[in-house]
Amino acid sequence: MEKILIIEDEDRILMGLEDDLRFEGYDVASAKDGLQGLTMAKEKAYDLIILDLMLPKLNGFEVCKQLRQAGIATPILMLTAKSQEVDKVLGLELGADDYVTKPFSPRELLARVKALLRRTQSNLSTSALFHFGDFEIDFKKYEARKSGRQFHLTALEFDLLRLFIQHPNEVLSRDFILDKIWGEEVYVNNRTVDTHVAQLRKKIEDDPANPKYIVGVRGVGYKFVPTI
Ligand code: CA
């Protein structure tokens, strides 16, 4: 299930968005000011962020800028008012991916959300070859090499590594990893994530006890650091 974070301070708009997106099957979280939104977006990985421009505590520009500076590449759909023509462009320059002008129809917004999610997902699936450190990972052929030498990863380890690579420098919670890799399967729990991360570390870390690529974040989950 795709996770969407809405950062919007107007109750009426927020509740409308929450209802519409939940009805479409998205997992929705929300924040009512910029600071709370920024914190949530840094703590947990989302597939999309809907970000209002005029927000208390920290405005949408700042939230967007600080997320990108933190290396968080989650697609951002900006909500702007009609009078903010100039701001629109600025919003995109700051790293927003698209914008919708208020007032918008639910149908228009849903179309943008779907298009944005589709675009980012197809981008990810086309970049099949990924490099980090001495590693080269080919996600199309399911081949992994270290310093040119092939080594074995299971299909699940490939999926896990791909998830980390898709969210560089982001802390992924165990719940998020479970949901993305195992989906609806009910016999897995947080321990399962730890077990498989430990196995993956044995294969890619020089010192699995002191990992430099897949770093543990106490009480939350794991973070992939793509050291060059
Ligand atoms: Ca607002």
Evaluate if residue 33 carries a pLDDT over 90.
yes
- Position with higher pLDDT, 59 vs 142: 59
Which has more confidence, 119 or 166? 166
pLDDT at 118: 82
Range from 69-78, 84-93, 197-206 that averages highest in pLDDT:
197-206
DSSP string, the chain: --EEEEE---HHHHHHHHHHHHHTT-EEEEESSHHHHHHHHHHS--SEEEEESS-SSS-HHHHHHHHHHTT----EEEEEETT-HHHHHHHHHTT--EEEEES--HHHHHHHHHHHHHHHHHHHHH--EEEETTEEEETTTTEEEETTEEE---HHHHHHHHHHHHSBT-EEEHHHHHHHHTTT-SS--HHHHHHHHHHHHHHH-SSTTS-SSEEEETTTEEEE----
**Ligand 1 center to residue 9 CA distance, Å?**
5
C-alpha 139 to ligand 1 mean position (Å): 41
Instruction: Give the distance (Å) from ligand 1 centre to CA of residue 120.
Output: 26
Domains of the chain: 3-121 (3.40.50.2300), 129-224 (1.10.10.10)
pLDDT at position 126, please? 47
Among the ranges given (27-31, 60-64, 84-88), the one the predictor scored with the smallest mean pLDDT:
84-88
What is the whole-number distance in angstroms between the Cα of residue 180 and the centre of ligand 1?
31
List, for residues 110-157, the tens digit of each pLDDT value: 999 998 888 776 555 545 778 888 999 988 777 899 998 999 888 888
CA of 85 to the centre of ligand 1 (A): 16
Query: How remote is the CA of residue 53 from the centroid of ligand 1, in Å?
Result: 6
Percent of the chain whose predicted confidence (pLDDT) is above 70: 89
**Mean of the pLDDT values across residues 102-114?**
90
